[in-house]
């Protein structure tokens, strides 16, 4: 796993040596960031279920001003912190070891881009999406991007959905949310 573009282009990320994380593939990540555009100057990013920090670190490399990484797993938290330091993003990044729903419900900061890459079989994905909107974590012009498999069905209709093999990316904005 590596950073694809920007100031840290080509740098490898430390990975987790267990099988309960599923990093976003370079192909999906490249497509995602092509959709978002480049550079991401002045964007603030939230990376939920961050794993290694792959998506948020890519955003920082592409010019995001700040990234917050949230993961409840101790090993993931450790690897995220190591990757942040290794890539030199200590001044722009914060790693938080916390349950994602607790973070969403207690956070008051708004983000321009929210990446959410939960375990595919997690039962509370819809609840998490609704909580992000109900707690107003997404800025008015921001985008929530959820990575999932084909079995996921959202209560909110995404404004865009892309398929890459067995992986789907669903894109949400405030205009899609009507207080379901």
130-151 pLDDT tens trace: 999 999 999 988 999 999 888 8
E runs forming strands in the chain: 44-48, 66-71, 93-97, 111-116, 138-148, 160-164, 167-172
pLDDT at 68: 98
Confidence band (pLDDT; 50, 70, 90) for 180?
very low
* H/E element, 105: helix 100-106
Q: Per residue in 53-102, pLDDT tens?
A: 999 999 999 999 999 999 999 999 999 999 999 999 999 999 999 999 99
To which residue do tokens 């405030």 refer? 174
pLDDT tens digits, 39-50 = 788 899 999 999
Which has the minimum average pLDDT: 29-43, 103-117, 125-139, 159-173? 29-43
């Amino acid at each position: 796993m590596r950073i694809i573009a920007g100031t840290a282009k080509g740098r490898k990320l430390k990975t987790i040596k267990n099988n309960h994380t599923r990093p976003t593939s370079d192909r999906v990540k490249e497509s995602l960031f092509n959709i978002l555009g480049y550079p991401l100057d002045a964007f603030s990013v939230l990376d939920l279920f961050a794993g290694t920090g792959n998506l948020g670190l890519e955003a920082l490399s592409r010019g995001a001003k700040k990234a917050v990484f949230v993961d409840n797993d101790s090993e993931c938290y450790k690897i995220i912190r190591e990757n942040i330091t290794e890539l030199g993003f200590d001044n722009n990044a914060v790693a938080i070891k916390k349950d994602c729903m607790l973070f969403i419900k207690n956070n008051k900061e708004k983000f321009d881009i929210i990446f959410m890459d939960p375990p595919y079989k997690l039962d509370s994905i819809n609840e998490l999406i609704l909580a992000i909107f109900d707690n107003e974590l997404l800025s008015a012009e921001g985008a929530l991007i959820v990575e999932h498999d084909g079995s996921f069905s959202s209560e909110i209709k995404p404004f865009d959905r892309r398929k890459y093999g067995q992986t789907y990316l669903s894109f949400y904005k405030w205009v899609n949310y009507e207080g379901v």
